[in-house]
Amino acid sequence: MMKSKLHSDESASESEVIRDGLRTLLARDRVMESWLNNQVAPAYDALKSNPARAITADQVRDRLAAEYAKTR
Mean pLDDT of 12-31: 92
Mean pLDDT of the chain: 89
Q: What pLDDT is attached to residue 21? A: 93
Give the per-residue pLDDT at 35.
98
Summarize the confidence of residues 37-60 as an average pLDDT: 96
Give the whole-angstrom CA distance, residue 72 versus residue 68. Answer: 7
| CA nearest neighbour of 6 among 19, 17, 18 | 17
Does residue 7 surpass a pLDDT of 70? no
**pLDDT > 90 in the chain, percent:** 75
Q: Tell me what the mean pLDDT of segment 50-69 comes to.
A: 96
Half-sphere CA count of 16, side-chain side, radius 13 A: 11
